[in-house]
């Protein structure tokens, strides 16, 4: 189990065991086994963004420790599939659950990839054969995700619109007053 151990100066267990027991699911088990936890950020393409600029942006995200996209907003220049595939090419998982979207790391899969079936998880995750295989899995997920979203249904991985984020006209004076006070 991946959790911070309490120090002698902080003996409280914060009910980790109870919480883990109450919220145990197959996906929780998979995510815990794949530690460290994915850390994502939002990528919003801007008008005129070039592919080189997008690649630099994804590389910067990676260098800052981000491992996945939490959200993106498709634009006419940057359709969803283009953004997700480019992120993956630059080492950023295209979805917020990152390695949680990988095919489960079973002894059978490891054998299929020519690896020892008892290879420790941290070694398996870093192995080039596993990385290449799981990248293919994520590419298939991108295709399935984009196809499913062509139906126009809501998706947790994209922002459907910016409606509802505007300030009502009658609140603008109060907002400006608050802003000036800062």
Decide if 62 contacts 43 (C-beta within 8 A).
no
Of 38, 28, 36, which is closest to residue 138 (Cα–Cα)? 38
Decide if 70 contacts 94 (C-beta within 8 A).
no
**Predicted confidence pLDDT, tens digits, the chain (182 residues):** 333 443 445 556 677 788 878 888 887 777 777 666 778 899 999 989 999 999 999 999 999 888 899 989 888 899 999 999 999 999 999 988 777 788 888 999 999 999 999 999 889 988 999 999 999 999 999 988 888 777 655 554 444 445 555 677 787 888 888 888 87
DSSP state of 115: S
Decide if 63 contacts 93 (C-beta within 8 A).
no
């Amino acid at each position: 189990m991946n959790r911070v151990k309490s120090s002698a100066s902080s003996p409280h267990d914060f009910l980790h065991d109870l919480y883990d027991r109450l919220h145990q699911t197959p996906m929780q088990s998979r995510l815990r086994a794949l530690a460290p936890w994915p850390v994502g950020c939002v990528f919003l393409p801007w008008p005129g963004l070039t592919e080189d600029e997008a690649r630099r942006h994804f590389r910067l995200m990676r260098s800052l420790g981000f491992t996945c996209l939490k959200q993106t907003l498709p634009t006419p220049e940057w359709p969803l599939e283009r953004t997700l595939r480019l992120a993956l090419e630059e080492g950023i998982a295209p979805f917020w659950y990152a390695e949680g979207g990988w095919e489960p790391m079973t002894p059978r899969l490891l054998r299929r990839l020519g690896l020892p079936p008892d290879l420790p998880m941290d070694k398996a995750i870093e192995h080039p054969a596993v990385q290449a295989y799981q990248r293919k899995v994520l590419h298939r997920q991108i295709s399935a995700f984009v196809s499913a979203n062509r139906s126009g249904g809501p998706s947790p991985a994209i922002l459907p619109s910016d409606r509802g984020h505007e300030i009502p006209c009658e609140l603008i004076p109060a907002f400006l007053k608050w802003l000036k006070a800062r």
